[in-house]
């Protein structure tokens, strides 16, 4: 297993750890664009929080800025990366190569943050032996044996809900230290195993709630579209009205 990173302080709330990940993403984009420094106001705008929250989060990881200049971006990337463990290389396996699993295997962002997908597993014999995104797919029954060779530290679980618990138990038995769980269920695992649950339906509910609380506009409400009011250009003239012929009703 990789050497444990100089991780976030125990008192740092989970939501603050999530913001650190967002800071890191935006800082990397700024660095790629050639920007060398950024103040708390600029970082706050990038992730839609207040400058005070930015300063509090960065102070908690002992990141220090310079008055009138802000934070050195390269140094801040290193500091946050060390806190989140992205400067450590993690071997990852993925279980469940359906639509979601396939998309994750093709995603290149994992490698950039220090996560290397070393293998994938699935039940479908048509997938076993093939590769997606450069990752070889193995039979799910061989997780225990193949894990000894691949030496994964983390696993991505993208299986149906009814299989999640048993597959997670197999992963723990294979020595996995952390699971990113996409199945819509809460896993009951030993406290020595880290679990992060990602329920996409729940996230959509959160999004719907956020949208429902936005200020409404007439553009969002079809029933509030005003009735058509003829303009001088669209209204028929008196002469045109007079020139219309009445038609007899059908026989």
Q: What digits encode the pLDDT tens for the residues 103-159?
A: 999 998 888 788 999 999 999 999 999 999 999 999 999 999 999 999 999 999 999
> Residue 226: inside a domain, yes or no?
no
Mean pLDDT of 222-231: 49
Residue 221's pLDDT is what?
45
59 with 115, same domain? Answer: no
Residue 72's pLDDT is what?
94
**pLDDT tier for residue 233 given thresholds of 50, 70 and 90:** low
182 with 104, same domain? Answer: yes
> Residue 211: inside a domain, yes or no?
no
78 with 95, same domain? Answer: no
Q: What digits encode the pLDDT tens for the residues 41-81?
A: 999 999 999 999 999 999 999 898 888 889 999 999 999 98
Tell me how crowded residue 182 is: count the other CB atoms within 10 A of its CB.
22
Look at residue 89 and tell me whether its pLDDT is greater than 70.
Answer: yes
Token pair belonging to 40: 């708390």
> Residue 78: inside a domain, yes or no?
yes
**pLDDT tier for residue 220 given thresholds of 50, 70 and 90:** low
Token pair belonging to 224: 């509030």
71 with 97, same domain? Answer: no
Closest CA to 183 of 81, 95, 92, 78: 95
Look at residue 188 and tell me whether its pLDDT is greater than 50.
Answer: yes
Q: What digits encode the pLDDT tens for the residues 11-21?
A: 677 788 889 98
134 with 191, same domain? Answer: yes
Region of poorest pLDDT, from 32-36, 44-48, 138-142, 242-246: 242-246
Based on the structure, what is the number of domains in the chain? Answer: 2
Closest CA to 84 of 107, 61, 68, 101: 61
Q: Each residue of 96-119: b (16+ CB within 10 Å) or e?
A: bbeebbbebbeeeebeebbbebbb
> Residue 216: inside a domain, yes or no?
no
Mean pLDDT of 236-241: 49
188 with 99, same domain? Answer: yes
**Residues 158, 171 contacting (CB under 8 angstroms):** no
pTM of the model: 0.67
Q: Report the alpha-carbon distance of residue 162 to residue 97 in Å, rounded.
A: 16
**pLDDT tier for residue 236 given thresholds of 50, 70 and 90:** low
128 with 78, same domain? Answer: no
Residue 8's pLDDT is what?
47
Pairing mode, strands 115-122 and 90-95: parallel
Domain extent at residue 24? 14-84
Look at residue 4 and tell me whether its pLDDT is greater than 50.
Answer: no
129 with 79, same domain? Answer: no
97 with 198, same domain? Answer: yes
97 with 116, same domain? Answer: yes
113 with 180, same domain? Answer: yes
Tell me how crowded residue 27 is: count the other CB atoms within 10 A of its CB.
22
32 with 99, same domain? Answer: no
Residue 70, beta-bridge partner list:
66
Residue 136, beta-bridge partner list:
131
**CATH code of the domain covering residue 58:** 1.10.10.10
Q: Where a domain ends, among 39, 59, 84?
A: 84
Q: Report the alpha-carbon distance of residue 218 to residue 236 in Å, rounded.
A: 29
Angle at 181 between CA 117 and CA 1, to 5 degrees: 45
**Is pLDDT larger for residue 240 or for residue 64?**
64
> Residue 6: inside a domain, yes or no?
no
**CATH code of the domain covering residue 169:** 3.40.50.720
SS3 72: strand
């Amino acid at each position: 297993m990789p050497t444990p990173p100089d991780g976030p302080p125990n008192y740092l709330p989970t939501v603050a750890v999530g913001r650190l990940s967002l800071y890191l993403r935006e800082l990397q984009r700024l660095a790629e664009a050639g920007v060398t420094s950024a103040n708390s106001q600029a970082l706050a705008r990038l992730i839609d929080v207040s400058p005070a929250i930015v300063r509090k989060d960065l102070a908690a990881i002992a990141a220090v800025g310079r008055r009138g200049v802000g934070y050195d971006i390269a140094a801040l990337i290193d500091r946050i990366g060390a806190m989140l463990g992205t400067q450590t290389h993690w071997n990852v396996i993925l279980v469940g190569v359906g639509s979601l699993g396939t998309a994750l295997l093709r995603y290149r962002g994992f490698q950039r943050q220090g996560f290397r997908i070393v293998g994938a597993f699935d039940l479908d014999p048509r997938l076993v032996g093939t590769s997606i995104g450069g990752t070889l797919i193995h039979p799910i029954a061989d997780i225990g044996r193949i894990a000894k060779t691949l030496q994964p530290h983390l696993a991505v679980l993208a299986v149906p809900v009814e299989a999640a618990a048993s597959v997670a138990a197999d992963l723990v038995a294979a020595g996995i230290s952390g699971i990113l769980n996409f199945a819509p269920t809460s896993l009951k695992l030993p406290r020595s195993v880290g679990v992060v649950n990602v329920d996409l339906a729940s996230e959509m509910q959160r999004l719907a709630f956020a949208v429902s609380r936005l200020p409404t506009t007439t553009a969002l409400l079809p029933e509030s579209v005003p009735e058509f009011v003829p303009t001088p250009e669209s209204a028929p003239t008196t002469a045109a009205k007079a020139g219309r012929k009445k038609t007899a009703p059908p026989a």
